[in-house]
Chains A and B, each alone.
Chain A
Amino acid sequence: MVLLAIRAGVFGQLARVSALLTLPIAISVVLVSVFTRAGTTVLFAIGPFDATAEGVDFAGQTLVRLFAISLSIGLFVLTTNPRAFVFDLERRGVSPRIAFVAVATIEAVPALVERAGVIGESQRARGLDTEGSVRARLRGVLPLVGPVIIGALTDVEERSLALESRAFSRPGRRHLLWAMPDRPWERWLRWALSCLLLAIALARITGRI
């Protein structure tokens, strides 16, 4: 995965994204595993809690899995055009409604961030304190979240009406103009990786690895 990320030129971004995704869970996993997992080898103690070697071993394994998951998700997000991905899924038979919801959800994020920025600016212009202490920031969340969510819901209603007027609810398949290039070696690679995944899963289930 790291090699793929370097090849795609996104290694730095991937490292940051994975760390951000994993860090909050990793901290709690380490604390819970190291200090509460029963074991015979006590490394050190903090009050009534013993840090055991078995706990450290378990925390290490869990962290590796967490990083593997976050790296794969991060690599996928950073190297795949979401619109291209979902339209390709639709070409392969996924319902247009599901495809639309998926793309709209992904595409809505930057729009929501932009809207939140505008609302934040206007709230600050009216004297809302959104900087400074944690308490002040928390107090500033509600006046931001409310308009962002309500505004987004209103937009969704109007957008759904606009889509209806463009035959979005028409039953049957729609004609997609665009096709994602899919070279023979890419198809072979997908099959090979699927077979490898199946083999690893089987080996794991039967206890060979």
Chain B
Amino acid sequence: MLQLHRIGYRYAGYATPVLHDIDLSMADGEIIGVVGANESGKSTLSLVASGLAPGSIGGALTGQLSIDGIDMAGSPLHEFSTRVGIGFQNPATQLSGVTGSVFEEVALGPMNLGLTGREIVDRTNRAMAVLGIENLAEREPRRLSGGQAQLVVIASLLAMRPAHLVLDEPTAQLDPEGTRLVGEALRGLAATGTALLIAEHKTDLLDGLCSRIVVLDGGRIVADGAASDVLADPRLVDWGVEPPSRIRLGRAANARGLDAALIDGAIGS
């Protein structure tokens, strides 16, 4: 379990904290969506949960981050890498740029861990199989489409076998087809028991994928609950978040005196 207890975080060189009193726990296999307007602290929360802030980028952290009951304060970054993986929105900058094939790219993390050759190959093959990208193994990473590259990035993180995966807007730069590919992959991934924290603007992606939604506003958690409840919360728009199209259609139907359940059923089918 990954736990953030009364977390506050301020970037180096800034006087004002970006996160305030964040309490969040992530059970194994749980999928949590994080939504909020721009500058609400979603990306910072992702960096803090993965140990990169302040571990790599500096700044001041207050509160406690623990994983499986172990306080991670002061732990070296490589200790985090086998416990929490993080993926960012731009796949192009997450590919190492030093590998000649997707297989090598996915294997890079396990190689860094100093595992045996057999274990590296096994982890790499399994990570690619989970996301269904075995057919890309020989492809040059730089020549992939955005959706494919993001899947390779996620596979690279999976090969590290982290119990928790933090994804900061994993579909931000993807077209609908790329978003669909990543969404399907994340569903498959959740089935393997990996806990996911997904910061995303696209509530349609989170709807049906997440069991729980956390809303951030001004660096604070303003709502935290079951996805169906939070995504239907009328205050969502005030927090700068667009409800999923299922909810908006339902509301539009209600406003016109139509049966929203029929529309919901039509979308579901």
Interface residues of A (CB under 8 A from B): 83, 96, 100, 103-104, 107-108, 111, 154-155, 158-178
**B117: chain A residues within 8 A (beta carbon):** 175, 177
Residue contact A100 to B98, C-beta cutoff 8 Å: yes
Give the contact stretch, choosing among B84-92, B172-180, B196-204, B237-245: B84-92
- Is B64 part of the binding interface, using a Cβ–Cβ cutoff of 8 Å? no
CA distance A169 to B114 in the complex (A): 12
State the CA gap A30–B88 with chains docked (Å): 54
A145 to B210, CA, bound (A): 43
When the two chains form their complex, are residues A167 and B52 in contact, meaning their CB atoms are under 8 A apart? no
A175 to B87, CA, bound (A): 24
Residue on A with the closest CB to B90?
A: A158
Q: Which residues of B contact A107 (CB under 8 A)?
A: 97-98
Question: How many Å from the CB of B54 to the closest CB on chain A?
Answer: 12
Inter-chain contact A165/B121, CB cutoff 8 Å: no
Residue of A nearest to B99 (CB): A83
Q: Which residue of A lies closest to B86 (CB)?
A: A165
- From 145 to 161 in chain B, residues with beta carbon under 8 angstroms from any chain A beta carbon are 153, 156-157, 160
Q: How long is the Cα–Cα vector from A183 to B112 in the complex, in angstroms?
A: 28
Tell me if B62 counts as interface (CB < 8 A to partner A). no
In the assembled complex, the Cα of A167 lies from the Cα of B115 at a distance in Å of: 12
Cα A160 to Cα B88 with chains together (Å): 12
B181 to chain A, nearest CB (A): 20
Additional pairs, 12, CB under 8 Å, beyond known A170-B112, A174-B112, A177-B111 = A103-B98, A162-B88, A162-B94, A162-B96, A164-B77, A165-B77, A166-B81, A167-B82, A174-B113, A175-B115, A177-B107, A177-B117
Instruction: Evaluate contact between A159 and B111: CB separation under 8 angstroms.
Output: no
Chain B neighbourhood of A177, CB < 8 A: 104, 107, 111, 117, 120-121
Choice from B52, B97, B112, B157 contacting A111 with Cβ under 8 Å: B97
B192 within 8 A of A: no
CB neighbors of A among B63-88 (8 A): 76-78, 80-82, 84-88
Contact A164 B52 (CB under 8 A): yes
Q: Is the CB of A170 within 8 A of B114?
A: yes
Q: CB-nearest residue of chain B relative to A168?
A: B112
**Contact sample, A vs B, 21 pairs, CB 8 Å cutoff:** A83-B99, A100-B96, A103-B97, A104-B97, A154-B93, A160-B56, A161-B47, A164-B77, A165-B81, A165-B84, A165-B85, A166-B112, A166-B157, A167-B82, A167-B160, A169-B77, A172-B114, A175-B111, A175-B120, A176-B111, A177-B111
Task: Say yes or no: is B50 at the interface (Cβ < 8 Å to chain A).
Answer: yes
Residue pair A161, B142 in contact (C-beta under 8 Å): no
* Cβ 8 A contact of B108, one of A104, A111, A158, A166: A166
CB neighbours of B115 from chain A (8 A): 175
Given contact pairs A164-B52, A177-B111, A159 touches B97 in the complex (Cβ within 8 A)? yes
Say which residue of B56, B99, B153 sits within 8 Å of A164 (CB atoms).
Answer: B56
Closest A-chain residue to B93, C-beta based? A158
Chain A residue contacts of B219, Cβ below 8 A: none
By a CB distance below 8 angstroms, the chain A residues around B135 are none
**B109–A166 CB distance below 8 A:** yes
